[in-house]
Structures are given as C-alpha cells and as structure tokens.
Structure 1
Amino acid sequence: MQKTVQELVTVSNGDRDLDLETVPERFIREAVKEGQQQGAEGGEVPLVDVPVIDLSLLPLSHPPASPEADAELQSFHRALTSWGCIQKRRYLRADNGIEGYGTDMVLSDHQVLDRNDRLSLFVYPEDCCKLEYWPQIPETFREILHEYTLKLRDIVDAVFKAMATSLNLHSNVFLQAFRGKVTLIARFNYYPQCPRPELVYGLKPHADGSAITVVLPDREVGGLQFLKDDNWVKIPIIPHALLINVGDQVEIMSNGVFKSPMHRVIPSSDHGRISLAMFCAPDAEEEIGPVSELVDESRPRLYKNVKDYPKIYFHHYQQGKRPIDAVKL
C-alpha cells in the first residue's frame, strides 16, 4: 500500500516534528539540488488574472444570437488561444438552480516526488466505476459526486460546442471525435502544508493529457501557477468559479490552434490545500487527430492520428518529457 506524504515525511525525518524547517530529499526539486534555482526560479511569482467567461452567454451554434453572445465568444476564443485556460463563473442553468488512493507513481529510488496525496476515481461512464474505491464516509459522498459528474457533463458539452463555434465550425465537430464515448476521471488532491515550499512541487510542471480538465479549486488557499510567455504566474482564486483548461488531446484535435498549457502547484507554508480535477477525454480505443477543417496550406497538419493517448502520455511524462511532442509530425 502506498504511504501518504505525511508518512513519507515521518520516515525521512525520523521522530522530528513535521513543522520543522526540514524537507526530505525525496521531495526536493532537482534544480534546487543542483544549485540552479532558489525559490520560485529566483524571484516572486506574480499574480495574473485569467480570463473569466460567463458560460451562459456563450453561443453553442453559429451565428451568435446577440452582440453580448458574440463578444463573450470572442473573449472565449482569445482566452483559449492565448492562455489555454479560462475561469468559468456560471453554469448553463437558471439562476435559481443552482481509482484509488495514492501519491506519485514511484519508478525509481531517485525519483523526485510530488508533495501531494490523491484519490482518483472513474466517474463516467457509470459501468466503468469501481465503487470499491469510492469512500463510504461521508455517507453522501457517492450521491454528491454522481450529481456533480452529471452536471459537469453538460458543462463539458457546452465548452466543446463553444470551442467549435469560436472557430466557425459546426458545433459538434469536436464532440463527434468522441463518438459518444466520453470518459471522466475525478482526482481529489490534497497538498499538505510544507515548511519550505520553495524547495518542492505540490505537482510538478506538466500539461494535461486530457481533452479538457475542469478544476474545482480550494476556496481559500492558492498555489496553482501557469507558464505564460515563458514566465510562471499565479492564478487568483475567484469565488464560485471553475477553472477549465485545454489538454493535449484538444491541442491535437484543433491542430494546435488551442494550446495545452504548462502548469504546476506550489504548496503553502501555512495551510493544506484541496482541489478536485475532472479529466475529460475520449475513450482510449477511439482514434483522434486534427479536425480536417483546421488543416490547409496555410496551416499544415501538425499532429499524427493517435489511439490510447493516455498510455503515450504517462510513458513520456514519467521520463520527464513533454508527451505531446511524441505525436508531432
């Protein structure tokens, strides 16, 4: 059975208290060990606003029904092409409505570990759910997660349609690549407080292997950072907003129009942090590739067709490589 971060720290530190200015070597970044960086790459990471989109205004087909809808669609398109992520403030509904546990996959004794604990669960389609991994306490956990998953399906469909509409394509062009076989994996993340956060990663720099990822962030504790114009920037906490970011598979399907952004998590020295990430992707057996309408002489094909991208992703990710580079032409 995998140990929690707290157990790993206790083993490394012996009987010393966890709040001492000590971080086990297993968690210290390689660049810090080699003296190449101090703190967050040598300086304070700025807080930068990520575009906030009102999903209820986004048109899901062409043309937009109002100037407001058209303006929101243009903002949505600019956000995904320049950032690769948005913060979503509203749901598509009336105003009155409102696999298993573990840490890093350890492949060697010298691997630098992320400082977090995770619970990953297949949540959709329902016949893929392994309920033996689902917590039974609190008693309402399964019911609430199931309801959240169904509502998120509506959001995911709306985002894919808005992506297509923003490119003047048929609204279902990205959804058709799924052939009706959408998979959703929920990952609950706990990042314990760390006495020396500048030495470690809560989650190492990476881009997601999903099509899109929807994150329900901690309401009070930040830590998520994105790489923007070769500089790391902090993402602000916006109450009642979800963070939606592009994954590698949408970058492939959009032929590079929408980019899968690099991001990371830095733990807090004062508080633990909790988040829920929902990864949406096609069924592993479905082949994906650039949408034909986005390939022409001015924008040649950039990616191969690929099946089971998650397998490719994890193979290269654990080697410290950018997985999407393996499917570039």
Structure 2
Amino acid sequence: MGKREMFYVPMKNRLLRCPYSFRAPYYSQANCAINHGMSASFLDEVLEVTGKLFKLPLDEKRTYSRDENGIDGYGNDVIYSDRQTLDWNDRLYLHVLPKSIRKFEKWPRPPQNLREILLEFTERLRVMNEIIVKAMEKSLDLEENRFLDQFGESPIVLARFNFYPPCPWPDRILAAKPQGDASGATYLLLDKEVEGLQVLKDDQWYLVPLTPNAIAFNVGDQVEIMTNGIYKSPIHRVATNRTRERETLALFFAPEPTREIKPVEGLISNKNPRMYKNVTDYSRNYFEYVQQGRMPIDAMKL
C-alpha cells in the first residue's frame, strides 16, 4: 500500500469553458480542474479553515458531535458490526444545501469564518457542477437537462471535512476503506503537501498526484445509474501516512432523496440494454453497505 507500489493517475485538466473533452464510452478516471475561477488565496483559506476545525480542543469538538442516526457533526465510522474495519480519520459532515436542512448548531465556531468560506466554496462548485453535468449530457448526445432534471429543484450538497492523522502502521491500516460515492458528483480539494487518495483501475491502485490549486472531481453512483453505466463511479480509498497528517474537503452533490433515479431512455438500446434498477433515496443505506465492505452500486444492477 506504500507509495512505491503505486502508479500515478493521469490527471486531466478540464477547462470549464470546454469540459466535454472527456468522452464516453465507460469513463472511469480521476479528473481535475484548474481553470475553475477560484483564486489560490481563496483555496488556501478553505484549507486553513479545515485545519483550524481539527485543531480545536477535543471537548469543544465533542459539542458538535454527530447525533445518533444523524449525519451532521463530528465523528468517524458508525458501528454496524463488531467485525467491521474502522477508518483512520476524523471528519465533520455538514449539509449545506438546501438551506432548509442546514443544522447550524453543528457548524463549529471558531473558526469564525467557517460559514462564510463554506457557503462561498459551495456556490462556486454549484456553478461548476452544473457546467460539468451539462457537459456529460452533451458528450452523450442527449437533450439538455436530462441528468439535471433527475437532481430535482433542491439537490443535496453535503460537505465533508477530513482529517487523516499520522498512522504508525501505514502498510496495514487505511485512512478510508475502498468505496464509490453515493453522490451524483463529488468535488475534492486536496491537501497541498501530502498524497493519499488512490483510485482502482484494472485491479491496480493508482495514486492521485497533487496538483496545485486544482479541484479533483469524479462521477458518483447516481450518475452512473443515470448514464446506464457509461460514466462509472470510480472505486477509491485513502492511504495512511506514517509521519504526516493530511486534510481535505469534499463536497457531494446528490439528487433530492424523493427523486426517482434511473437510466436515461436515450442510453438504452438493444446493443446497450438497461443495467440498473430505478431507485429513490439512494444514500439511505449507503453507509451500512460500505461499512460491511459491500459496494452499494452492485445492489442496483439488474
């Protein structure tokens, strides 16, 4: 699991004015965008806020702990079984959109500028997400909004602040176990100095390299369903580091839970038969599947 055993993912710079250069069939690769309109100083602020969150005293962090059966707040793995493998990380989940489901009582203060920074970062990525999803529609010769309509009027945006402390057993313990994402699309601001994210391709783990001021993004399970498997949700994991800590921020864009997600009709044919069931509230059982070492997307396949 060490760096010497890893190949590097060939990261692609997707110019947001022309992002549909990534084309089918069967896309399953890490991507990054550097021409996203966010300054290096702003992204530094985002990472600075992330670092401050995890440097709060333990007692203070506990006041923002996740509620039982809840998502928002500090914590790590929910225990479903005494046999499950726990991840070597701490994290803070916060729902950002729609406004009606924000739980500001779980938004730590300090840092005093957390709310301002996270809301601005989310709005920038919301615009970026719409551009990229429309680009995927265009790449598949679909009418506009065939995917965006499935997201609904009030799609979910969930932020996850990640802290990966040094681990004395990096060859035996993962910072995050192998999984796909329950989202439609995921955007990740990487640590500036320490690598760790790995993507599975052709049974080989590839290390995602650090790209200054880039936003990494990947398709989530729900867009894989919408595209009938043409765009794949990559399986990924996070490696630990023996001596250095690592901090990242991920934003997950997902359809409204009540929306029915299904393959778009224009992507189903005799040559490309339907591969997935219809599903609502895909995220509901996602975490339990992952903690059991199962891939939720497999349960959706016909």
**SS state of the match for residue 274, structure 1?**
strand
Summarize the alignment of residues 161-310 of structure 1 with structure 2, pairs less than 5 Å apart: 161-310=134-283
Alignment-derived partner of residue 23 in structure 2: 77
Alignment-derived partner of residue 101 in structure 2: 128
**Which segments of 5 or more consecutive residues in structure 1 lack a partner in the other structure?**
1-38, 59-72
Is the contact between residue 97 and residue 154 of structure 2 (CA under 8 Å) also seen in structure 1?
Answer: no
Question: Once the two structures are aligned, what percentage of the paired residues are identical?
Answer: 44
Is the contact between residue 55 and residue 92 of structure 1 (CA under 8 Å) also seen in structure 2?
Answer: no
Q: Could you tell me which amino acid in structure 2 is paired with residue 281 of structure 1?
A: A
Is the contact between residue 285 and residue 307 of structure 1 (CA under 8 Å) also seen in structure 2?
Answer: yes
1:93 is displaced (CA, Å) by: 8.2
Is the contact between residue 225 and residue 234 of structure 1 (CA under 8 Å) also seen in structure 2?
Answer: yes
Alignment-derived partner of residue 30 in structure 1: none
Match of 1:89 among 34, 39, 50: 34
Q: State TM-score, norm by structure 2.
A: 0.85
Instruction: Give CA-to-partner distance per residue, 1:156-201, whole Å, 9 cap, x none.
Output: 1111101101111123111011221211000000000112211100
Closer/same/farther in 2, CA of residues 299 and 203 from structure 1, 3 Å limit: same
Instruction: Give CA-to-partner distance per residue, 1:130-168, whole Å, 9 cap, x none.
Output: 000001111111111111111111011111101101111
Structure 2 residue 20 is matched with structure 1 residue 47: no
Q: Distance in 2 between matches of 1:92 and 1:173?
A: 26
Is the contact between residue 225 and residue 263 of structure 2 (CA under 8 Å) also seen in structure 1?
Answer: yes
Match of 1:147 among 112, 120, 133: 120
Q: Could you tell me which amino acid in structure 2 is paired with residue 206 of structure 1?
A: Q
Match of 2:17 among 56, 65, 68: 56
Which structure would you say has the larger RCO, counting Cα contacts within 8 Å and 6 or more residues apart? 2
Structure 2 residue 87 is matched with structure 1 residue 114: yes
Q: Could you tell me which amino acid in structure 2 is paired with residue 120 of structure 1?
A: Y
Q: Distance in 2 between matches of 1:261 and 1:93?
A: 26
Is the contact between residue 9 and residue 30 of structure 2 (CA under 8 Å) also seen in structure 1?
Answer: no
Is the contact between residue 84 and residue 291 of structure 2 (CA under 8 Å) also seen in structure 1?
Answer: no
1:47 is displaced (CA, Å) by: 2.2
1:54 is displaced (CA, Å) by: 1.3
**SS state of the match for residue 199, structure 1?**
coil
Q: Distance in 1 between matches of 2:137 and 2:239?
A: 33
1:44 is displaced (CA, Å) by: 1.2
**Hey, which bits of structure 1, 4+ residues long, moved more than 4 A?**
none
Q: State TM-score, norm by structure 1.
A: 0.79
Is the contact between residue 84 and residue 292 of structure 2 (CA under 8 Å) also seen in structure 1?
Answer: no
> What is the RMSD computed on CA atoms of the aligned residues?
2.1
Is the contact between residue 92 and residue 155 of structure 1 (CA under 8 Å) also seen in structure 2?
Answer: no
Q: Distance in 2 between matches of 1:46 and 1:179?
A: 38
Is the contact between residue 84 and residue 258 of structure 1 (CA under 8 Å) also seen in structure 2?
Answer: no
**SS state of the match for residue 305, structure 1?**
coil
**Which segments of 5 or more consecutive residues in structure 2 lack a partner in the other structure?**
44-71
1:319 is displaced (CA, Å) by: 2.0
Q: Distance in 2 between matches of 1:228 and 1:152?
A: 26
1:316 is displaced (CA, Å) by: 2.1
1:267 is displaced (CA, Å) by: 1.3
1:92 is displaced (CA, Å) by: 5.7
Q: Distance in 1 between matches of 2:150 and 2:93?
A: 25
1:48 is displaced (CA, Å) by: 3.1
**Aligned pairs, number:** 273
Is the contact between residue 56 and residue 92 of structure 1 (CA under 8 Å) also seen in structure 2?
Answer: no
Instruction: Give CA-to-partner distance per residue, 1:83-141, whole Å, 9 cap, x none.
Output: 343111112689xx991000111123332210000000000111110000001111111
Q: Distance in 2 between matches of 1:152 and 1:135?
A: 22
Instruction: Give CA-to-partner distance per residue, 1:15-64, whole Å, 9 cap, x none.
Output: xxxxxxxxxxxxxxxxxxxxxxxx459x7112232222111333xxxxxx
